[in-house]
Each structure stands twice: as structure tokens, then as C-alpha cells.
Amino acid sequence: MRAPAAFLALAFLPGPCQAAELVQYQIENGEIRASLTGQPGNPVRGRAIVAERQKGLCLLCHTGSFPEERFQGDLAPTLAGVGARMSEGQLRLRMVDGTKVNGQTIMPPYYRIDGLARVAPAFRGKTLLNAPEIEDVVAYLRTLRDDDAGQSK
Amino acid sequence: MWNELRSAGVIAALALCAGARAEDARRSGFDDMGPGTQAMQREDSSNPGMLSALEGESLWSAPAGPAQTSCASCHGEASASMKGVAARYPAFDTASQRPLDLAGRISQCRDQRQQAGPLPRESRELVALTTYVGLQSRGQPIAPPEDARLTPFRDAGKALYSQRMGQLNFSCAQCHDENAGGHLGAALIPQAHPTGYPLYRLEWQATGSLQRRLRNCMIGTRAEPFTYGGLEYIELELFLMQRAAGMAIETPAVRP
């Protein structure tokens, strides 16, 4: 019993566990309330990150209203309407490290460098997105209020 | 009376078949391919992997080493001596006390018995010889040896298969068990059965080994691939072959 409790405490302890270069954040009730940059993100840049396959990778798994991206995956729920379903803090936690929401998720942790195995040298110590990019994506996801938006091709 | 018995038998046999089919949800990557790519694999004359097999056939009888022996000098006709061999690899090698995959065994034979030096992993010659030897088992069911010495290695392979890795933090199982049949972008995720190797991959424009395929998947997760010939790949192969036991060898297959 003791070991899992200690593990959980460590996992949720803000600050000390994170590498120095990463912005520190606090998880409360399934949310990261504060912006990682202290500023609101830019939704237009956020959309570009989500739509660009090499950068965001989102559309490898998700669908959404991105007529310019023809090969969208089907491994995850549509992003349409996600801004209505989830709060800003929930979206931020989901982006920073989805495994904190669902330990089994296939969604990569976008802002984490610890606890990863065999990372290729070119990517070692690097997050998938940096803090301003996380904020841009969160700002964009917040604009996705309409459930139908994703269905239209 | 006889007729009745016979039809009862037929019905029982049909029921058995249907039962087996319903239970076995395993699909080769072949089943997920378009008809054009399937036809390319089926017809030897259009299957580019056959070029590699043909090259392997000529290497099989090419003399090499100080004694100028060929594989054929010792093994005779591959169609007889190598039949079914690929279906039971990787196998345990007593000399090195570790499992060897088919390519490793061929390279070992060439080095120690033919005394012509080992063949580098993924070299054209080694892929060709492995394809030719593999072809002698085409259509045969995968039959992993019941050798207790392999068990710890196979278990290690299973653990690797379930371990998350790389910057993207995926395990093999997350894609090939939990999301098989789904689409990662445009790519259909297969169940990852190692039935066709070495095989011709359209993306490679070449025939390559299972290790090359696994390397591709690891690079895709932004993980550092294992070194070619490394024990980890052979452990993974042991696990994958067990998981595919009974499925037919397709070497040389074609894949997108």
C-alpha cells in the first residue's frame, strides 16, 4: 500500500520533479488552471499546429474540421466541440500530459520529458511542444464550441 | 445409416471449422492490403521479393571460403533440407547460449562452417539467402519450438512489446493490439504478424528483414532503435512468432 501512495504523491507533486527548463505547473482537480506562459495563447497559431501533421501530430489520431488535411486518423474522438466539453484547465492538462487524465491513453504527453524510455537522441530532453505552443493549442481548442464543425468536410 | 453418420460427421467438421474461425481473429497484414498489392504478392512473376529469392538461390550454390564449399555442398537441395526451417525460428543456439534468428543462423553457418566470414545484417546477400531459405517454408504453419530455454527470452520479448517507448510514449501493444484495424493518419494499423519476412516493402523499394520493419516502427515512436542483430529484436521476434503460431509463412510477402 505504501509504495503506490508514495508514487502518486510524487506524480502530482508540482515543481521539484520537473526538469529545470520546463515551466512548473500545478494540477488541481484534473486541471492546470494557470497559463504556462502567464499569457493567453494565440488560437490562429494553435490551429496551424493542430493542422500541421509533422508538428502537432493530432490528426494522426483525431478528426476535426480540417479540409486541407486529407488523411485523418480514427483512433480518438473528434476535436469538434471539445471547447464546449472541457474547461481551459482540463484542456491544458490533457495537452501537457494526457497520462495524468488516463494512464492508459495512447495520446502522447506534449509537455513532459521525464519517465520516457529509449527516446531517440535527436528528441531527448525535448518536449513535443513548448510552453507558448501549448498555450496556442489550448486557445484554439477553446474556440471549438460547435459539435457539427468536425462533421462537415 | 452410413450416409447419416457421414453427414453427421460433415456437420460436426463444419461446426469445428466455423468454431475455429470465429475464435481466430488473427489477420495477416496481407488481408488488409488492396487487391492490387495482394495480386503482386500472389503472382511470383510480379512479386519483387522473388528477385531476392532468386539471388539467394544462386548464392546457395556459389562456392566460397578456403574449401570452396557452397551451402549446397553440405545441405543439398534447399527444397528438401530447408523445408519448414523458417517456421521454427528463432531457435536456441547451444554454442552461444542464446536464441538465433534465421538470418543469424545463416550468417553463423557461413562464418563457421563455410569459413567465408559472417554476412553483415541487412546486407543484400544475407537478405537474399534468408529470403531463399524462408521461401522453402512458404505455406507452412508457424511452429515455434517447444524449448524451455527459449521461454525467458520470449517473456522478455513480451515485456518489450508492452513497454512504452520513445518521445511519443507508445508501446507496440497500444497500436497492434488495442488499435489494430484503426487508422493512424492514412495507415491502417495491422496486427503485426511476422508471417512474410523477409518481404518487399513498397516504401523501401527493397526486400528487407523483420528487424528493419521493427526499426521503422521504433523510429516512428521517436525511440532509439535497437542495434541490428541485437538480442532485443530476437526476443521480440520470439514473442511475435508465438503470437502468430499456426499462421502460414508468406515469404517473400509484399507490404505497403
Domains delineated in chain B: 2-255 (1.10.760.10)
Chain A residue with minimum CA distance to B175: A106
pLDDT digits (tens, 9 = 90+) for A93-127: 999 999 999 999 999 999 999 999 999 999 999 99
What ipTM goes with this model? 0.86
Q: Which of B174, B183, B222 sits opposite A123 (nearest CB)?
A: B222
Look at residue A71 in the predicted model and tell me its pLDDT: 81
Residue A82 has pLDDT above 50, yes or no: yes
Number of helices (H) and strands (E) in chain A: give both, helices first: 6, 0
pLDDT of A140 over the 70 cut? yes
Q: Can you name the residues that pair with A45 across neighbouring β-strands?
A: none
Mean pLDDT rounded to a whole number for chain A? 85
Cα separation, B168 vs A119, in Å, equals 9
* The CATH homologous superfamily of the domain defined by A2-13+36-143: Cytochrome c-like domain (1.10.760.10)
Residue-wise burial string across B172-185, b where 16 or more C-beta atoms lie within 10 A, e elsewhere: bbbbbeebbebbbb
Q: Which of residues 35-74 of A touch B (CB under 8 A)?
A: 53, 57, 59-61, 70-74
The stretch B40-68 carries a mean pLDDT of 97
Closest alpha carbon within chain B to A104: B174
A113 CA to chain B: closest CA distance, Å? 8
Residue A145 near residue A83, CB atoms below 8 Å: yes
pLDDT at A153 over 80: no
What residue spans define the domains of chain A? 2-13+36-143
Q: Which of B45, B188, B53, B206 is nearest to B122 (CA)?
A: B206
pLDDT greater at residue A152 or residue B66: B66
Distances (CA, A) of B113 to A93, A102, A129: 60, 54, 54
DSSP-assigned beta bridge partners for residue B115: none
Judged against a pLDDT cut of 60, whether residue B156 lies above it is answered with yes
Residue B87, pLDDT above cutoff 60? yes
- Per the omega criterion (within 30 degrees of 0), is the bond before B144 cis? no
- pLDDT for the residue B12: 42
| Furthest CA-CA distance within chain B | 71
Closest chain A residue to the Cα of B183, Cα to Cα:
A73
Nearest residue, CB atoms, A118 vs list B166, B179, B183: B166
Query: What amino acid positions of B are annotated as catalytic residues?
Result: 217
The per-residue pLDDT for range B100-152, each reduced to its tens digit, is 999 999 999 999 999 999 999 999 999 999 999 999 999 999 999 999 999 99
B60 touches chain A (CB under 8 A): no
The grid coordinates listed for B85 are 526451417
B165-189 residue pLDDT tens:
999 999 999 999 999 999 999 999 9
pLDDT confidence of residue B160: 98
The C-alpha of A139 sits at a distance from chain B's nearest C-alpha, in angstroms, of 23
